[in-house]
Structure 1
Amino acid sequence: MDIGTSLVKYILFIFNIIVSVIGISVIVYGVIIMKSIELIKVNGEVGFPPSGLLPIVLIFMGSIVLFISFLGCCGAISESICMTMSYAVFMLILLTLQLTLIVLRFTNKDNFDLAMGDVIEKAWEVDRGRGGVFDPIQKSLHCCGHYSAADYLMSAQTLPESCCDGACMNPLNIFGGCRAKFVDTMSVNTDRTKYVVIGLIGVEFIGFIFACCLAKNVRNNRAKSWAENEAESGSESGTELRNLP
């Protein structure tokens, strides 16, 4: 194996170790966000609120990156063309999906914010502040009502405890509306996620290039070795024929 192939091999291995660390960091980041989100209980069922979707996506994405980088490490060390090309194909698919998500996020920000607002609107329409699904959403997001606490007052309802940080008699303790709070929360989190994904795309693209280079070099070296062996075998056969009486 030539020096160039050895260099690419170890660069790809070290690179995938770094990618593995990044994948683990994305998983940890998702877990931290998930822990900051309070569970909600609806009809006796405990689960995550709508804002819990983002950390789940991050954990899932980090797990995929970790798996692919492990495949790349194994392919680099073993110099397996099959594993290295599989790694390159998976990386290309992942790059395409991530780039598509980023483009959609950039070009459809208003639609995204509208969709997040619709989540709260539908929850309010179903519950109307009667202590069902909307109460745990208020506890999780620290908000009150669809647009504001006035939603309860217009329905001739008293403010629930989830609407206030302390006694609801004090207007300063009342939280703002859930729709705006949820849209802002998701917008901030997705902006952070966007930059994390952009960084991953850049790193993964470098890994894709190194994987293709390594697979090409290993294939060329093996073809060269095979040709040399065939030439040596042919030379030995010719010598044996000449030596026959």
Structure 2
Amino acid sequence: MDCGTSTAKYVLFAFNTVVVVVGLLGIVFGALILNSIGVIEVDGHVGFPIQAVLPIMLITLGSIVVFIAFLGCCGAIRESVCMTMCYAVFLLVLLIIQLTIVVLLWTNKDKFNSAMGEVIDKAWDSRSKNPAVFEAIQVSLKCCGKNGVTDYVLSLQTPPASCCEHNDCSNPLNFYGGCRSKFQEFMSFSTDTAKYVGLGLIAVELVGFIFACCLANNVRNYKRRNAY
């Protein structure tokens, strides 16, 4: 095995070892966030609130990254062309998906924020059929109504206890702000963070893809030369 192939092999192995650790940290971090959010109970139904979708996505992405990186480690250390090329293909697909998501988030921020607002609008409009959904949103986001307590007043309804800090609505200062703006702010901050993290992952994955292709090509050529 020539020097270039050995270098690519050990660099790829070290690279994927680091990626496995990063993926595991992502899973742990997502689990900690999910634990801090906790579950909520509304009308006897227990489940995760709406903002739990982000840590769940982080845990899922971390699991995928760990699997792909483990495949890369095995392919590098075993000098397997098949495993290394499978790793490169998986990495390229993941890279393309992440790049597409980052570009869409970057170029459609206003549309995304508008769509997040519509989620709250629809939940508010359908509260008569399924009040537990909007109640869960208010409990998890600590908000009140679509745009504020005035939504309940205009609907001739009494604001629920979830509209107020410590469930004490006797003091007007305890009322939370509207759910629409709070959810948009939460999602906007989360997506901004995701965009920059995604760009960093794309750069790292591109390096891994290049080294994987180099290693697979060198190993293939080495085996072809030894076959004669």
> Normalising to structure 2: TM-score of the pair?
0.94
Q: Percent identity among equivalent residues?
A: 58
Which residue matches 2:215? 214
Which residue matches 1:138? 138
SS at match of 2:165: coil
Offset of 1:3 from its aligned partner?
1.6
SS at match of 1:46: strand
Which residue matches 1:58? 58
Which residue matches 1:32? 32
How many Å separate the matches in 2 of 1:103 and 1:161?
41
> Normalising to structure 1: TM-score of the pair?
0.87
Which residue matches 1:198? 199
Offset of 1:128 from its aligned partner?
5.1
Structure 2: give runs of 5+ residues left out of the alignment.
none
SS at match of 2:169: coil
How many Å separate the matches in 2 of 1:63 and 1:206?
20
SS at match of 2:46: strand
Q: AA paired with 1:76?
A: A
CA contact (8 A) 1:68 1:87 kept: yes
SS at match of 1:55: helix
Q: AA paired with 2:193?
A: R
SS at match of 2:158: coil
- Correspondence list, 1:1-245, <5 A: 1-41=1-41, 44-127=44-127, 131-166=131-166, 167-227=168-228
How many Å separate the matches in 2 of 1:69 and 1:17?
7
Offset of 1:42 from its aligned partner?
5.0
1:109-147: CA deviation from partner (whole Å, max 9, x where unpaired): 111111111111111111159852211211100101110
Offset of 1:45 from its aligned partner?
3.2
Q: CA RMSD in A?
A: 1.7
Structure showing greater Rg: 1
How many Å separate the matches in 1 of 2:111 and 2:32?
27
How many Å separate the matches in 2 of 1:22 and 1:177?
37
How many Å separate the matches in 2 of 1:43 and 1:19?
43
Q: Aligned pair in 2 of structure 1 residues 129, 152: CA closer, same or farther (>3 Å)?
A: farther
CA contact (8 A) 2:42 2:135 kept: no
CA contact (8 A) 2:106 2:195 kept: no
Q: AA paired with 1:184?
A: E
CA contact (8 A) 1:105 1:112 kept: yes
Q: AA paired with 2:20?
A: S
Structure 1: give runs of 5+ residues left out of the alignment.
228-245
How many Å separate the matches in 1 of 2:32 and 2:113?
23
